[in-house]
A and B are shown apart, each in its own frame.
Chain A
């Protein structure tokens, strides 16, 4: 039983998510043994492979470095994974937008189902995953010969980085005439990555405008926090969509989550209710967010936020 993990990487750096996926893979191999290989696919990804080789528990890093894999388009990646998958019992990826884009394509190419966003491993074939926006947890068992799985990274602790796995080149090139990369517009931020931050402070419709999100920045700086947003704040155009926390955005589980001017709709709670401590700041004392908050403060965020920043 061997596991292949598709590594996350951006701009020449290994994504933090991969260390969490390796942890999930270890839970699978703990019971039955087996190797854990990490596949790094892209163009000029030698540094990513070096970083992946340091993750504890990784047996081997396989590197497919070719121009056709630049920008990790689904068509060549799916083809490559399908070519490699026969040597493995499981193929795992984080439930990042890349993992969600590519793994179902692989699953269909191999005529197997996919298990999305698992949050627990019961055995090599039985897994836990949330359904209905996290309002129910399903236990599912797969009898497919190949298990194709995306992993909710917030549900697994990252492995340490003291390993030294072997690095091997993969020379399979999957030509792609179906799709082409045109351009990319990435949000620039000095703050920690939303999915990996220990503290997250999020604003909702109650913030009133994108300008007012500045009120969160001073607090975020003092706490080393990432800044998130509710879907309402994104839809109102206050902030870009990649800041969205929720069922249809990012799923986070930080030590501390501070929800400011967020009512607490089902779709938002799905993205943050596994946070260790939740603080809600809202002027509506009946807002549903208070039902999940460990500490609630009823008040006007325009008064509370400057005071909070000053007192931290």
Chain B
């Protein structure tokens, strides 16, 4: 079966972000960018399905600026067979990404689409669910285990009280949680080979999707700073402070 895996270019998770002085947004100039960690897990799962002989082809897709091709090349180096880049410089939010991905799903007809559960920049946790709604497919969100069983997919999901297991009919949409797998590193020869793998470019216009959103970002501010605290010398002092100063005991 064919597996489609969606990846996003985001700020590296280790970077301490800066808000622009005019409060218009977060400053991304000269900041290290990388593949969203949840998307790495999605790519790894797709590649493992291929290594187990379950998947026949793994197609990576991204929506974003020209530079996002770096993340597609990373996906190819990790084992994806080919890539599709929906190129746009516009700021595209979840609903529009889901609409663009729905067009790609329509064209590619994958049996399984794997996405990360959320991007660490917008923290939306929406795109996979929206894609499922737009394509009319079932969804297995926050997956920590995935098993293909004939024409069914068994997904174990991380829910608030613990774990839930569900069966989905294929084709289906899955979003990854952190514990689904441990992504591998790309080896140098694979990175070299990835440069020769096919990468198609599309545009939102050609796909017939309007990316404009009805949500306006009015401002972005740093959160309230916490007051620097004090260090106490002993357990006695700690208990005393909590009782008499903070009054939380």
Interface residues of A (CB under 8 A from B): 10, 71, 73-75, 78, 96-98, 100-109, 111-117, 126, 130-144, 177-187, 195, 199, 223, 231, 234-235, 240-242, 247-248, 250, 255-256, 266-267, 273, 276-279, 285, 290-298, 304, 307-308, 311-312
Q: Give the shortest distance, in Å, between B23 (CB) and chain A (any CB).
A: 9
Q: Which of B133, B139, B165, B216 meets A184, CB within 8 Å?
A: B165
In Å, the complex CA distance between A180 and B167 comes to: 5
Contact status B160-A137, CB under 8 Å:
no
Given contacts A133-B120, A136-B221, 20 further A-B contacts (CB under 8 A): A71-B164, A97-B141, A108-B98, A114-B130, A137-B223, A139-B218, A141-B216, A141-B218, A179-B167, A182-B165, A182-B166, A184-B163, A241-B158, A241-B177, A247-B123, A256-B242, A256-B249, A276-B248, A295-B232, A304-B235
Knowing A113-B93, A115-B215 are in contact, say whether A10-B161 is a contact too (CB < 8 A): yes
Contact status B132-A135, CB under 8 Å:
no
Knowing A97-B142, A140-B218, A143-B216 are in contact, say whether A297-B235 is a contact too (CB < 8 A): yes
Knowing A132-B26, A184-B165 are in contact, say whether A295-B242 is a contact too (CB < 8 A): yes
Question: What residues on B are CB-neighbors of A199 within 8 Å?
Answer: 248
Knowing A114-B124, A114-B126, A223-B249 are in contact, say whether A179-B166 is a contact too (CB < 8 A): yes
In Å, the complex CA distance between A132 and B20 comes to: 14
Question: What residues on B are CB-neighbors of A142 within 8 Å?
Answer: 214-216
Q: Give the shortest distance, in Å, between B142 (CB) and chain A (any CB).
A: 6
- Closest chain B residue to A194 by CB distance? B160
How large, as a class, is the contact surface on chain B? 35 or more
In Å, the complex CA distance between A102 and B17 comes to: 30
Knowing A104-B94, A308-B235 are in contact, say whether A241-B179 is a contact too (CB < 8 A): yes
Q: Which of B121, B132, B159 meets A131, CB within 8 Å?
A: B121
Question: What residues on A are CB-neighbors of B17 within 8 Å?
Answer: 132, 135-136
